[in-house]
Amino acid sequence: MRTVYVNGEFVAEDEAKVSIFDRGFLFADSVYEVTSVLDGKLIDFAGHCRRLRRSLRELQMTLRVSDEELLDIHRHLVEKNEIEEGLIYMQVTRGAADRDFAFPPEDTPATLVLFTQIKGLLDSPLAARGQKIFTVEDQRWGRCDIKTVQLLFPSLAKMESKSKGGDDAWLVRDGLVTEGSSNNAYIVLDNGTIVTRDLSNLILHGITRRAVLECARHLQMKVEERPFTIEEAKDAVEAFSTSASGFVCPVIEIDGTTIGSGEPGPVASKLREVYITEMRKAAI
């Protein structure tokens, strides 16, 4: 049985309670972060904290728990649950109040919940095989840069891809790829240039995206941050996605078209290797 964290307390998972009046439950009025654990250490914790604070600020949500306290909670859960490899999920909501579209009073305490999940991340069968992607019209709201728990549309998109035999969906808005259902999307052109959507309100500013692009630049790989079409993606020599739990994950097929050789490509494989090495070195 796992130990989880709820509002200041470490409790057994079957004793954890959140109110039915919680605005996370009623309005998806809530943000979250998922941090990977390798070798019992946190990967890019500072990046996740920074983005959490930004999400909170954008929604005028107040969390009276410092980054140092969040780090202590994360570390305690890793230790208590003996997580060598896996994830920590952290969610903050605007708290519990009578149901009303207007926000509750400022002094309503936020709800803070964290739990761990054991998961093999390094030896990923999907990364070894490469993903099959189907594209889906991006029907999410206009603030995809805020990491809210409104995940129904990405969940539907992933299921649509799975129903066709795919592994994941890439979302397309106005004919241009935004990102994956829960990851950022990349293609590699035949001149070796890596192309990924530029940062805006239409995509999540991935913590892994930032680190992987830095690795790419260190490796003297050329990077272009701009929109691309599905046609351009199908003509690419490689494609891949990035996320905190998937690291760099190759794509071998888009809407039934084979990408490059149909096997994980050298750019994605190199970036996966370098990213994992660098992040393990810097883990805390």
Sign of torsion, CA 88 58 212 259? positive
Closest CB to ligand PMP among residues 96, 267? 267
Closest CB to ligand PMP among residues 206, 264? 206
Closest CB to ligand PMP among residues 138, 238? 138
Question: What's the closest the beta carbon of residue 11 comes to ligand PMP, in angstroms?
Answer: 26
Pairing of strands 168-173, 30-38: unpaired
Question: What's the closest the beta carbon of residue 26 comes to ligand PMP, in angstroms?
Answer: 22
Among this protein's residues, is 41 annotated catalytic?
no
Query: Whole-angstrom Cα distance, residue 5 to residue 133?
Result: 36
Query: Whole-angstrom Cα distance, residue 111 to residue 122?
Result: 32
Helices (H) and strands (E) in the chain, counts: 8, 15
- Choose, from 41, 80, 132, 147, the residue flagged as catalytic: 147
Query: Whole-angstrom Cα distance, residue 106 to residue 3?
Result: 30
Residue-wise burial string across 89-126, b where 16 or more C-beta atoms lie within 10 A, e elsewhere = ebbbbbbbbeeeeebbeeeeebbbbbbbeeeebeeeee
Closest CB to ligand PMP among residues 131, 184? 184
Question: What's the closest the beta carbon of residue 87 comes to ligand PMP, in angstroms?
Answer: 10
Question: What's the closest the beta carbon of residue 182 comes to ligand PMP, in angstroms?
Answer: 4
Residues that bind ligand PMP (CB under 6 A): 179, 182-184, 204, 206-209, 242-244
Query: Whole-angstrom Cα distance, residue 161 to residue 172?
Result: 13
Closest CB to ligand PMP among residues 132, 209? 209
- Three-state DSSP string of 32-83: EEEEEEECCEECCHHHHHHHHHHHHHHCCCCCCCCHHHHHHHHHHHHHHCCC
Question: What's the closest the beta carbon of residue 213 comes to ligand PMP, in angstroms?
Answer: 11
Query: Residues 6 or more apart from 218 whose CB is under 8 A from it?
Result: 274
Query: Whole-angstrom Cα distance, residue 257 to residue 191?
Result: 20
Closest CB to ligand PMP among residues 52, 96? 52
Question: What's the closest the beta carbon of residue 17 comes to ligand PMP, in angstroms?
Answer: 26
Query: Whole-angstrom Cα distance, residue 238 to residue 191?
Result: 11
The residue count of the chain comes to 284
The residues annotated with a catalytic role in the active site are: 147
